[in-house]
Amino acid sequence: MLTSDLVRVRVREGRLKAVEIRGATREFALEYASRVLATSLNHEGARRVDYEQALGRIAVSAPQRKLALGLQKMVADGCEFSSSDATRAVDVRRALFETSSDVWGMLASAEDFDGGLVLQRVACEMGAPAESLTEEMFGDTRDAQRLVRGCGFTAEQILERYEFSQVQAVLLRAVKVVAEVSGKDVGAVRNLFRTLKFRRLLFLIQELENGKFRVEIEGPMGMFTASQKYGLELALVYPAIAACADWSMTAEVRWGKDRAPVTFEVAGRGGRSSDQEASVRDEVSRLMEDLESRLPKGWSVGPGSGVLNLPGVGLCVPDLMLVDDKKRKVQMEVLGYWSRDAVWKRVELVQAGLKDPVLFLYSQKLRVSQDVLPDDLPGALMPYKGVISAKVVLERAKELLNR
Amino acid sequence: MVMGEILHSLRFVAGTLELHGFRESQSLPGEMAGVFRWDGRTCCFRAPAHAYAAVVRGAQEAGLRLQDGARHYNVLDLSGATLMQSRPYQREAVESWRGNDLNHGGRGVVVLPTGSGKTHVALSIVRGVQRSTLVVAPTLDLVRQWYDQIRRTFDRPVGIVGGGEHTIEDLTVTTYDSAHIHTQNFGNRFGLVVFDECHHLPSDAYAFAAQGCLAPFRLGLTATPDRSDGGEFRYEDLIGPIVYRKDIVELSGKYLSDYATRRIGVHLSRLDREAYEEARAVYLGFVRRERIQFGRPDGWQQFIYKSAQSDRGRRAFEAYRRQREIAFAAPAKLRMLRHLLFEHRQDRTIVFTQDNATAYEISRRFLIPIITHQTRVRERSEILERFRSGRYRSLVTSKVLNEGVDVPEANVAVVISGSGSVREHVQRLGRILRPSEGKQAVLYELVTVETAEAQTSERRREHSAYQA
């Protein structure tokens, strides 16, 4: 991630905007990134200090310096550095300092101290050349790290990472984020809420008319103080927001030395989801196809709509929705086989007063009995073995609608 | 609402208190109304954790029976603690802290010079309060030091959070960094929180360590409460008011070592002087051309901003760094250091620098142990232990030993370079003031004459400790 001192932004009338990289600047950035990447590959095996000195020799004009440093950071993040043996360095230092301490105690005049002689003496004792001791003495410091592997990305990838990282670096100074995300990619939306929960952030959801959700996100303490304590958490939520199908985000940021309040806006189209979600998604599309072929007359099936939310208890994001011939709806969430805890959370949700008819489908391997939820509640559990049976799903849906 | 029945519950959640059992439309009784706000995200009332004492008091006054699921700290029996007898001013400090605002529990900041036994004051308070206690210190060295002291005093297991360790006990020590991150998890486990070197706390980055903790008892310790950003006004809210204060000059001689401060001017060689003047001319030329006024609060920011806008600005910035390096690490300073190390070869000398590069240069040249932020905890402990025992008689550091580290044997400090901060300079002096039999401490400040460093030195000496 970029640090905020490397971010290229402009603040005008209370709005903070990341400076776009286009035209001649983009050409410079691509060329510069290529040179830094090549330098990293050419310096495999070199000390970090030598690699960084080589970067310093690539000419950069003052106005491009910050961009160049940011690109260097992105390349460095893609490199692998390693330290030499820290134990050896500590042993060398201890031997040198002990001997030197004895020597200082016996001196007759200040001019008599000769570091070279101390080095020679210790080198003899350790059976190593004096020159190597000089190098080993601080061989465990950052400067002495070795570049084990250069960065394998392309210049375009570095630029893409830089732009992504720039948003995150701004969010490090955020106190609150309001995101609007499309509900089209259910997996991405679910992943967003899971990330929010994992990061212990709180949120308010509002369903908008255009099929999007408006999510206000901040830390628990956010309602008392405009604290940047949650900046890191908000920055780490950004990938989950950017993975939603269609999204925009407005962040309340405290910027500059005086932490002036400014607004930061960014938008995009994503579509990336996790492997875990992908495996569930396959099951969902298969189920939808099976259901379509078995639907009674007047029934329909489609992607789930909305987020079923009980403030203070939790939420779920349905995958599919069945509509019967009387326009009554049953939502369905496919939980798959990966989290028993997730099933229990849904049980709590239904018990706490979720009003919508909803069917939770999960693998029998999770060992949760469907009898956990009594028949008089609008939610029901449906464990399955192997493949989800569309026939059983339809039966359970009818049963739910008739409760 | 039926008073007297348990219908309401209090929970600690991520550094805040959640009050369940009230509806949004209901008004909260007494003092609770002032601290709680309705949180629509979770459908309950919420308050910052540090309002806990007020919440409990408010509930009691209103006759509200509150199921308190927030508090998870213990009452301890610490009567067997082994503590040395307090000095008169230490007793006064404890009394002042205890006497402050009795109804609201002990809260407040004690200001005592380095070496005067602030830790003893804290341990006396821990023994008196008898509640699970968290001590927050700025560095891992200090965490280790507190750990040893608490173990010795109370003979109980002591937890550490930070530096790769995460064990929580009724008596636990942590760093400000770790407290900032983890208070949201363990902020309900302690009834007393001690903020060592509490001048760090009012920063935006660390304040949460106090706000997110529900401890009703709070103690701040510092030798230098003033902050350059004026943040000291936040002590009142985060810890409590300043309840006791004594200065170096009030205690030196009897409770602190006698000390002397000597400023030694060194001269640049002809070549260095030329290089210095040349760099300074480039730097000042740019400052004049751009009409940057360093007298203004944003003067430095202006310089940074403008120097990044052009190649000329970049050269000015490099020139600024160059002239500073020449003044800070003049060869004449290193020659003088050689003489001081020799003169004090039987003493315990700490050499302070402004930057790591100079510290490493000194360590390489004179082969004396070095402690920087890169030095791992185990090696730091070993170096400090050997320094205490006399195996090492000198060590060099940049800033990491500025604060708190207890080396009573240290009696000589050599400041090769530093910032203009009064606090830093007083803290550095404090390293050599811990009293011991017949000790006479001396602090040398090496200043390159006829450079900007002379003015920096004047600024940092604006404290009674340097005017005595």
- Residues A151, A131: one domain? no
**Which residues in B lie closer than 8 A to residue A312 (C-beta atoms)?**
41-44
pLDDT at B3: 45
**B302 and B343 inside one domain:** no
Size of interface A-B (CB pairs under 8 A): 123
Top-ranked range on mean pLDDT: pick from A342-351, B105-114, B186-195: B186-195
Identify which of A335, A350, A319 has the alpha carbon closest to the alpha carbon of residue A384: A335
- Whether the pLDDT of residue A83 is over 80: the answer is no
Q: What is the pLDDT of residue A190?
A: 82
B77 occurs within a structural domain: no
Q: Are residues B166 and B92 both part of a single domain? A: yes
Contact of B393 with chain A, judged by CB distance below 8 Å, is answered with yes
In a domain, B76, yes or no: no
The enclosing domain of B64 has a CATH number of 3.40.1170.30
pLDDT of residue B79: 86
Residue B309 covered by a domain: yes
Per-residue pLDDT reduced to its tens digit, B34-92: 899 999 888 889 999 999 999 998 898 888 888 999 999 999 999 888 888 899 999 99
Sign of CA dihedral B270, B271, B274, B280: negative
The answer to whether the Cβ–Cβ distance between B48 and A63 falls below 8 Å is no
Residues of chain A positioned with their CB less than 8 A from the CB of B394: 101, 104
Is A75 found in the same domain as A179?
Answer: no
| Euclidean distance between CA atoms B314 and B301, whole angstroms | 14
The amino acid present at B400, given as its one-letter code, is V
Statement to judge: residues A292 and A384 lie in one domain: yes
For residue A340, which of A362, A319, A318, A358 has the smallest C-alpha distance? A362
Rama region for B240: left / alpha / beta (φ>0; ψ in -120 to 50; rest): left
Phi, psi (deg, nearest 5) at residue B258: -65, 145
DSSP tally for chain A: helices H, then strands E: 12, 16
Residue B140 lies in a domain: yes
Mutate to test the interface with A, among B11, B19, B41 (most CBs of A within 10 A): B41
- CB-nearest to B310 from A62, A140, A227 is A62
Q: Pick the more confident residue, B94 or B306.
A: B94
* Closest chain B CA to residue A67: B308
Question: Considering only CB atoms, which chain A residues are within 8 Å of B286?
Answer: none
User: Averaged over B339-355, what is the pLDDT?
Assistant: 94
- Name the residue of chain B whose CA is nearest to A202's CA: B41
- Nearest Cα neighbor of B448 from B350, B360, B331 is B331
Tell me the shortest Cα–Cα distance from A363 to chain B, in angstroms.
Answer: 30
**Measured between alpha carbons, how far is A196 from B284 in angstroms, rounded to an integer?**
51
Question: Do A254 and A292 share a structural domain?
Answer: no
> How many structural domains comprise chain A?
4
pLDDT in tens, A210-232: 878 899 999 888 888 877 789 99
Picking from A8, A83, A224, A236 by the largest number of B CB atoms within 10 A of its own CB, the best residue to mutate is A224
pLDDT at residue B250 greater than cutoff 70: yes
DSSP strand pairing (B412-415 vs B440-448): parallel
For residue B92, give how far its alpha carbon lies from the nearest alpha carbon of chain A (Å): 35
Contact check, Cβ <8 Å, A104/B341: yes
Is the confidence at residue A310, as pLDDT, over 80?
no
Same domain, A204 and A346: no
**In angstroms, rounded to a whole number, what is the distance separating the alpha carbons of residues A356 and A392?**
20
- Residue A205: closest CA among chain B residues belongs to which residue? B41
B230 touches chain A (CB under 8 A): no
Q: Which amino acid is at B357?
A: A
Q: Count the domains in chain B.
A: 4
- What digits encode the pLDDT tens for the residues A353-388? 888 899 999 999 888 999 988 888 889 999 998 889
DSSP-based three-state secondary structure for A369: coil
What is the DSSP secondary structure assignment for residue A1, as one 8-state letter?
Answer: -
Q: A319 — phi, psi (to 5°)?
A: -85, -40
Partner-chain contact A105 B346, CB within 8 Å = yes
Closest partner residue to B367 (CB to CB) among A111, A115, A203 is A115
Query: Which residue range forms the structural domain that includes residue A99?
Result: 86-144
> Which of A34-43, A286-295, A356-365, B29-38 has the highest mean predicted lDDT (pLDDT)?
A34-43
CATH number at residue A353: 3.40.1350
Mark yes or no for CB contact A223/B37 under 8 Å: yes
The residue range of the domain holding B293 is 270-328
Q: What is the pLDDT of residue B404?
A: 61
Spatial CA neighbour of B450 closest among B270, B263, B268, B262: B268
| pLDDT for A226 | 76
Q: Residue B291 class from Cβ within 10 Å (0-12 exposed, 13-18 middle, 19+ buried)?
A: exposed
To 10 degrees, what angle do helices B270-289 and B311-328 make?
A: 140
**Average predicted confidence (pLDDT) for chain B:** 89
Report the alpha-carbon distance of residue B413 to residue B400 in Å, rounded: 14
Cβ distance A39 to A54 under 8 Å? yes
Same domain, residue pair A140 and A153: no
Rounded to the nearest angstrom, the minimum Cα separation between A307 and chain B is 15
User: Which residues in chain B have Cβ-Cβ distances shorter than 8 Å to A99?
Assistant: 367
Residues of A in contact with B361 (CB under 8 A): none
| E strands in B124-254 | 133-137, 158-162, 165-167, 171-175, 192-196, 217-222, 242-245
Q: Does residue A72 lie in a domain region? A: yes
pLDDT per position as a tens digit, B385-424: 899 999 999 999 988 888 767 788 899 999 999 888 888 8
Closest listed residue to residue A230, CA positions, set A256, A206, A252, A263: A252
Taking 50 as the threshold, does the pLDDT of residue B2 lie above it? no
Q: Which of B39, B298, B367 sits opposite A96 (nearest CB)?
A: B367
> Hey, of A203, A229, A232, A315, which one would you mutate to test binding to chain B, going by the most B CBs within 10 A of its CB?
A229
- With respect to residue A167, please indicate whether it lies within any of the assigned structural domains: no
Residues B115 and B184 in one domain: yes
Asked if the model's pLDDT at residue B188 lies above 60, the reply is yes
Element (DSSP H or E) covering residue B78: none
**Nearest-angstrom CA–CA distance, A360 and A370:** 10
Distance between CA atoms of B59 and B7, rounded to whole angstroms?
12
Choose the closest CB to A257 out of B207, B301, B392.
B301
Question: Does B391 reside within a domain?
Answer: yes
Least confident of A237-251, A332-346, B11-25, B201-215: A332-346
Q: For B371, list phi and psi in degrees, rounded to 5.
A: -125, 120
Contact map slice: B 48-67 vs A, CB within 8 A: 48
Name the most confidently modeled range: A105-114, A188-197, B327-336, B346-355. Answer: B346-355
Please check whether residues B323 and B336 belong to one and the same domain.
no
CATH number at residue B422: 3.40.50.300
Residue B199: in which H helix or E strand, if any? none
Please write the tens of the pLDDT for every residue from A227-243.
778 999 999 999 999 99
Q: Is B412 found in the same domain as B288?
A: no
Whether the CB of B314 is below 8 Å from some CB of chain A: the reply is yes
Please give the pLDDT value at position A102. Answer: 95
pLDDT at residue B468 above 70? Answer: no
What mean pLDDT value characterizes chain A?
89
- Per cent of chain B over pLDDT 70 is 97
As a whole number, mean pLDDT of residues B245-269 equals: 87
Cβ contact A285:A388 at 8 Å: no
The pLDDT assigned to A327 comes to 92
Q: Do B14 and A219 make contact, defined as CB atoms within 8 angstroms?
A: yes
Contact partners, residue B455, CB within 8 Å, separation at least 6: none
**Residue A206: which H helix or E strand, with range?**
strand A202-207
What pTM did the predictor assign?
0.79
pLDDT in tens, B431-445: 888 887 778 899 999
Q: Write the CATH number for A184.
A: 3.30.70.120
Q: Which amino acid is at B279?
A: A
For residue A12, what is the enclosing H or E element?
Answer: strand A9-12
Question: Where among B293, B311, B328 does a domain terminate?
Answer: B328
